Amino acid sequence: MRRCNDSTRRYPPAAAATLMMLTVLLQACGPSGTAVERSLESGILHVGNGVEPVDLDPHVTTGISEIHIHMALFEGLVIPEPESFAAQPGVARAWKSDDEGRLWRFHLRPDARWSNGDPVTAGDFLFAWERILSPELGAANASMLFAVAGAESFHSGELTDFAQTGFRRIDDRTIEIRLEAPTPYFLTLVMHPAWFPLHEETLRAHEGERRRGSGWTRPGRHVGNGPFQLASWLVNDFVEVRRNPHYHSPDEIHLEGIRFYAIEDRSGEERAFHAGQLHKTYGLPAGSAPRYRADDHPAFRTDSYLGTEYYLFNTAKPPLDDPRVRRALSLALDRHALAKQVVASGQQPAYHFTPPGIAGYTPEARITEDADKARGLLAEAGFPDGRGLPDLQILFNTTDHNRRVAEAIQEMWRTTLGIRVGLYNQETRVYFDTRSRGDFTIARASWIGDYPDPNTFLELWTSWSGNNFSGWQNPDYDDHIRDAASTTGPDRLESFQQAERILIEQSPIAPLYFYVSAYLLHPTVQGWRPSPTNWRTYHGIRLEKKAGILNN
């Protein structure tokens, strides 16, 4: 578990929303005005960021809340243009590939610097890539690098010499990467935090080369190469970053800093926004979007969002080791009601796992509500009308939104299948740990695409995925995903179709709905552009007083 430096305050998770509201009341009553009003002078952006970060180590974390902070503190070879996700120069000023798309060469900009002033070199990237692939670290996102020749073998321990992989340092300003096969989404792949460079001297100083939680991510120790540097981290309150004076493109950064608030309670976050303490909310309370839409509220925003909410079945535990039980549970769900009546922010019901239309792929396999078939499968598995079914529980991280969904599904299963399922909520950090240990029967989960390609969703359920917590493995499924990695065009898409058919038939998961990003944004925030992954590098975002400013 992460420790914080002596100046860091620690608050119990249950107190986080209360603490935020106390801050709201104290600041709103003071002569200095609200945080939003003061930010016009300070240049500090205040954003809700969902859950408390598990860590600020980009090789350890897998959550969106952490990625938001990583994108401020680090920069990879290329960075995403927000709306199109096209690759833009990051640390690399230029790049090219051979005709087959197998061999890539990146040329680093000479003015790239770490936040302590050290130059960013090719060696910093290779150090980081060797670290995330090292078996000792056990990084869940190590598979993000498996497109590179030898990377998977090195991660498994089959290959012990990193120099034998496809990563090569030509000189301090040039990197060469050789892929196992042409990878059409490769440039978007390298935008992910799993590919970020790390400051080798900092990690070695704190014995963090192969170890989690070594302390190198604490304020005063953290060294990054992004547009901002870590200033403070008040656990269960906020992480604050300030402008990095050594960033190579200072004219593109207009903010002096950002505060990322850990507010899991959506209602509390909404109140904080209307009290002038946030420029942007992470989300909205379940069911509140129609009200904002009907009022044509000027702060209300909805963006497309490449993500799926689903329930995860632990296939290693009876009765969920039986695909008939898993499929019965999935068939008994009214996804339309979940999307349109329970969460009701513009989400679409998910009858398959991969969101439709990614890189020309729309799944043909479907799972729809069929109560009779669900009851028949449950009886066939030995549990007619639910009789004799062992106790099941839904594990979810504590938010009002997640509880509302869990209660709705609990009722669907009771009325349709005659089974009673318990609810079990945990603080997010504990929930992530419980889920990764496999200490659950059913768990709430979500997946946000790391790049606009179906592989980012379907590779999740392979036997080699570090984020597959279902316990489910299927050799035929793995073969289809490997085939997709080595083919192009219609054959590649057909491999994904075959894989998704197996996924839906075997049902290690129950897809629920596809995401939209619904949030509130203060009109003083200019340059905030929608992104399909909700990632942004904070280039071009500024705070600007507007005539007729919104009265929250």
Question: Where do the domains of the chain lie?
Answer: 13-275+524-528+531-542, 303-516
Cβ contacts of 198 within 8 Å, gap of 6 or more: 58, 59, 124, 127, 128, 131
* pLDDT given for residue 468 in this prediction: 96
Grouping H, G, I as helix, E, B as strand and the rest as coil, residue 503 is: helix
Whether the ω angle into residue 508 lies within 30 degrees of 0, i.e. cis, is no
* pLDDT given for residue 273 in this prediction: 98
* pLDDT given for residue 545 in this prediction: 86
* pLDDT given for residue 487 in this prediction: 87
Q: What does 290-355 look like in DSSP terms, one character per residue?
A: HHHHHTT-TTEEEEEEEEEEEEEE-TTSTTTTSHHHHHHHHHT--HHHIIIIII-SS-EE-SSSSP
- Using CA atoms, how far apart are residues 131 and 210, in angstroms rounded to an integer? 6
For residue 202, give both structure tokens.
């900092």
* pLDDT given for residue 347 in this prediction: 94
Sign of CA dihedral 90, 96, 97, 103: negative
The CATH homologous superfamily to which domain 13-275+524-528+531-542 belongs is Periplasmic binding protein-like II (3.40.190.10)
In angstroms, the first-to-last Cα distance of the chain is 39
* pLDDT given for residue 29 in this prediction: 44
* pLDDT given for residue 287 in this prediction: 86
* pLDDT given for residue 20 in this prediction: 52
- Using CA atoms, how far apart are residues 141 and 520, in angstroms rounded to an integer? 31
Architecture of domain 303-516: Roll (3.10)
Cα–Cα distance list, 114 to 119, 200, 220, 226 (Å): 6, 11, 14, 8
* pLDDT given for residue 32 in this prediction: 65
- Tell me the average confidence (pLDDT) per consecutive run of 10 residues in the chain, 552 residues long: 33 46 45 87 97 94 94 97 89 96 97 98 98 96 96 97 98 98 93 97 96 94 98 96 98 97 94 98 92 95 94 97 98 97 94 94 96 98 96 92 95 97 93 95 95 94 95 97 90 97 98 96 95 91 74 50
Secondary structure of 185-221 in HEC code, one letter for each residue: CHHHHCCCHHHCCCCHHHHHHCCCCCCCCCCCCCCCC
For residue 155, give both structure tokens.
């991660």
